[in-house]
Structure 1
Amino acid sequence: MIINPLIKYVSNLVDIYDSDKKLLSHFFKPTDFAKGTIIEKEDVVAKKLYFITNGFARSFFSSDGLEITTQIVGENKFITSFNSFTSGSTSKENIQCISNCEVFYITKSDYEILSKESVFWNTFCKQIYEKVISHNQQRSMDFIVLTAEKRYLKLMKEQPEIIQNVPIQYIASYIGIKPESLSRIRKKIIF
C-alpha cells in the first residue's frame, strides 16, 4: 500500500493502524482537475469531499452579479460545500479549482460507511470540524475588527502560499474588498 498524502496528513493528527490506512485507500480516490473547473455547483447537493494534495481551490457564491469568495484552500486541506455535504441540502456555493489540482475525494455514501466502520475517522473529523469552526469564528471577528489592510497583512503572515499563488481578484474578494483597493494596499505595503 502506497502512503498517499491524505494518509500522511491523517497520521499526523490521529493514531491510525494499517487497517485504517487500507480503509482510507479504499474510500478516497485520486483524480486531477484543470484550472477553472467547477467541481461542486450551487443549487445541487454536494456529493463529494475533496482533499487537495496539489493546487488551490475556492468556494464562492454570486450576489448581484459579483462572485464572493468565501474560502481559499491549498495543499493538505479539505473542501466541499460543507453545509450541503453534511446535511444533504442544496448547496448555496460553487467550488472551483483556481489552479490545476490534484485531489483525493470521497463520495457522501462512502464517507458515511467510513464513519460507521472507523473510530479513527470520527476522531479525525471531530478535530478538523473544531479547527474549521475556530477558523470561521476568527475570520468573522477579523471582518468586524480589522481593517482591510490588516486582514491582508494577516493573510500574508498566516497563509503566504495564498498570496503567492492565487489571483488578486480572488484574494480581494476573500478579504472583502475590490481588486483595485487591494492593489492600493499592496503598493502601500511595498513602499
Structure 2
Amino acid sequence: MIITPLILFISDLIDITDNDINLLSNYFKTASYSKGSIIEREDKVTSKLYYVRNGFVRSFFSKDGIEITTQIVGENKFITSFDSFTSGITSKENVQCISDCEVFYINKYDYEILTKESVFWNTFCRQIYEKVIAQNQQRMIDFITLSAEKRYLKLLNEQPEIIRNVPIQIIASYIGIKPESLSRIRKKIIS
C-alpha cells in the first residue's frame, strides 16, 4: 500500500478500520518535489494539505525583501497554509521544499468529501489542528519570553533533525534573527 507511512502515523493516534484505510488510499496521492520547489504560493488559495514522508518543508512570507520562515516540518508532519486551506482565503505564505521531498497530499475537494464520509478523519484532524494551534501558541510565547540563544537551544533540543538538515539562513529566519547572529550563537555554544 503506497500510503502506508501515513496510515501508520494516523493509527498511532486513533483506531482506524479497513474502510478508513480504503478511504485514505482513495483520496491521498503521492508526489515528489525537488529542493526549492514552491508547492503552494502566496496570493492564491491553498489547494492541498501535505503530509511529509521524506525531506523538509517550510512556510514563509517576504517582508521588505526578507524571507520570514513561519514553520519548518520534517518527516511525519503535516504542512500547508492552514489559514488559507481551512477558510478558503488567499494565502499570505509560500510553502517550499527545503530539500528533495516525498509527500502525500489531499486536495481541498477530496478533503471535504473525506470529512463528510468519515468520523475517524474528523477526530484525527481535530487532534492535528489542536496540536498545531498549541505549537503556534508556544512559539509565540517563546518569541516573547526567550532570548534568541534560548530559542535556538530549544530547537536544538526538541528538533535536532532541523538543525542537522536545514540551511542556517532558514533556521535563523525561523527563530527571528539574522544568519550572522545565529553563527555567533552557534560558536558560543560550541566553545
Q: Which TM-score bucket, shorter chain as reference?
A: over 0.9
| Alpha-carbon distance, 1:2 to partner | 5.1
State the SS of the aligned residue for 2:177: coil
CA deviation profile, 1:158-179 (whole Å, cap 9, x unmatched): 0000000000000000000000
Structure 2: which 5+ runs fail to align?
none
Amino acid aligned to 2:75: E
Alpha-carbon distance in 2 for matches of 1:2, 1:143: 39
Counting matched residue pairs gives 191
1:63 match = 63
Q: Does 1:106 align with 2:106?
A: yes
TM-score by length of 2: 0.99
1:92 match = 92
Amino acid aligned to 1:76: N
CA deviation profile, 1:36-73 (whole Å, cap 9, x unmatched): 00000000000001000000000000000100000000
TM-score by length of 1: 0.99
1:158 match = 158
| Alpha-carbon distance, 1:103 to partner | 0.2
- Backbone CA RMSD of aligned residues: 0.7
Alpha-carbon distance in 2 for matches of 1:3, 1:134: 27
Alpha-carbon distance in 2 for matches of 1:44, 1:10: 29
Assess, with a 3 A threshold, how the Cα gap between structure 1 residues 132 and 163 changes in structure 2: closer, same or farther.
same
Structure 1 runs (4+) deviating above 4 angstroms are none
2:119 match = 119
Alpha-carbon distance in 1 for matches of 2:15, 2:2: 18
Assess, with a 3 A threshold, how the Cα gap between structure 1 residues 90 and 3 changes in structure 2: closer, same or farther.
closer
Taking the TM superposition and a 5 Å limit, the aligned residue runs for 1:30-45 are: 30-45=30-45
Q: Does the 8 Å CA contact 2:3/2:104 hold for their aligned counterparts?
A: no
1:189 match = 189
2:6 match = 6
Q: Does the 8 Å CA contact 2:37/2:96 hold for their aligned counterparts?
A: yes
* Percent identical residues: 75
Amino acid aligned to 1:66: I
Amino acid aligned to 2:97: C
Amino acid aligned to 1:48: K
Q: Does 1:81 align with 2:81?
A: yes
CA deviation profile, 1:122-166 (whole Å, cap 9, x unmatched): 000011111111111110000000000000000000000000000
State the SS of the aligned residue for 2:149: helix
